[in-house]
Amino acid sequence: MSSREAVTVIGLGAMGSTMARTFVAAGHPTTVWNRTPGKGAGLGAVEATTAAEAVAASRLVVISQVDYQAMFDSLADADLTGRVLVNLSSDSPARLRAAAEWADERGATLVAGGIMVPPPGIGQPGSYAFYAGPGDAVAAHRETLAVLGRVDHMGTDPGLAMLYYQAMLNIFWTTLISYFYSASLVGSAERLRPYAATMLADLTEDGPMGFLRILTAELESGEHPGAENNLHMQAVGAEHAVQAFTEAGLDVTVPGAVAALFARADAAGYGADGLSALVELVKKAG
C-alpha cells in the first residue's frame, strides 16, 4: 500500500487527465471521475462511477473542469464534509469567492488555483500554479500539489489565484498576438524571430536597459518621467504603425487599439509623461 496521500481528480479533459497521470506516476493512489464515462481508461487510476463516489475516496479533491458552475453541478449530491477542494478551473475572481462560500456551507474548504503551463508541462521543471485560500489547507497538501508544479500561495482571498492567473494569461496572449501581427507585417516570422527574442530578453534583464524593471519602479512610485521618450511621440508613432498595417492590407484591430490608447492618454494631458503613464487610463474604466 502506498504511503503517499490519496487524491481524487474531477474532470478528465487534457489538463485533468494529465494531472491524474502525474499523480499516479508519483505514487499517489488516485481516483478519477468525469461527466463522460470511460475517460479514465489507461490513466492507472481508479475510475469512480459517480462524483460522490470519487469524492468519498480522498480528502484531497483536485478539480479541472470548464468553469466553477461545472463543480457546483458535478458535486451537488456529494458529501463534501472535511474535503479540501482544489479547483484549478478558470473563472472570474468573484465566482471563486462565491465558490469558497458554497464549499464552506457544505463543510468543505476551497483552495482556488490556476496552473500556469499547458498539459504537457504539468509536473515538468518550470511548472507552477497560483493558489489562494486558507494557508493551513495549502500547507497540509503542499507536498501532493507540488507533484504538479511549484506551489505559489498568493493569499487567503480565493479571488487572488484567478487575478494572477488572468494577469499572466493577458501578458502571454497579447505578447504572442503582437508577434503574429508583426510577423505578418514583415512577411517572415523566421527572419523576425531573433530580433523579437532579443527584445524580450532586453525587456526582462536586470541591467540598465531592463525596461520591465524600470517600468515596475515607475508603476510602484506613481511617477512617469517622459523626458527622453514621451507619450506624445509614441502616439504619433502608433498612428504610423496603423498606417503600415493598413497599407499592407492587414487587420488593424490590435495596432489600432494601441494607437487609440496612446491618443487617449495624449488627449488626457499625459503627452509629456512616459510610457508607464498609460496605467492611469487603465485604472479608469471607460
DSSP 8-state secondary structure symbol assigned to residue 278: G
Q: Are residues 120 and 241 in the same domain?
A: no
CATH code of the domain covering residue 235: 1.10.1040.10
pLDDT tens per residue across span 33-47: 999 988 999 999 999
pLDDT at 286: 60
Q: Are residues 24 and 40 in the same domain?
A: yes
Place of cell 479547483: 87
Residue 17 maps to a domain: yes
Q: What is the pTM of this model?
A: 0.92
**Helix or strand holding residue 69 (H, E):** helix 68-74
- Report CA dihedral (116, 120, 126, 131) to the nearest 10 degrees: 30
pLDDT at 229: 81
CATH code of the domain covering residue 84: 3.40.50.720
Q: Are residues 181 and 265 in the same domain?
A: yes
168 has a pLDDT exceeding 70 = yes
Question: In the chain, what is the straight-line distance between the N-terminal and C-terminal CA atoms, in Å?
Answer: 59
Q: How far is CA 48 from CA 41, 52, 92, 204, in A?
A: 11, 9, 29, 46
pLDDT tens per residue across span 218-263: 999 999 998 878 999 999 999 999 999 999 999 999 999 999 999 9
Domain coverage including residue 146: 7-157
Q: Are residues 257 and 139 in the same domain?
A: no
Show which of 98, 122, 157 is a domain's final residue. Answer: 157
Q: Is residue 285 very low, low, confident or very high in pLDDT (cuts 50, 70, 90)? A: confident
CB of 249 closer than 8 Å to CB of 203:
no
Residue 213 maps to a domain: yes
Q: What is the mean pLDDT of residues 15-31?
A: 98
pLDDT tens per residue across span 178-211: 999 999 999 999 999 999 999 999 999 887 778 8
Which of 98-102, 224-228, 278-282 is predicted with the least confidence, judged by mean pLDDT? 224-228
pLDDT at 112: 98
How large a percentage of the chain has pLDDT more than 70? 99
Name the average pLDDT for the chain. Answer: 95
Q: Is residue 2 very low, low, confident or very high in pLDDT (cuts 50, 70, 90)? A: low
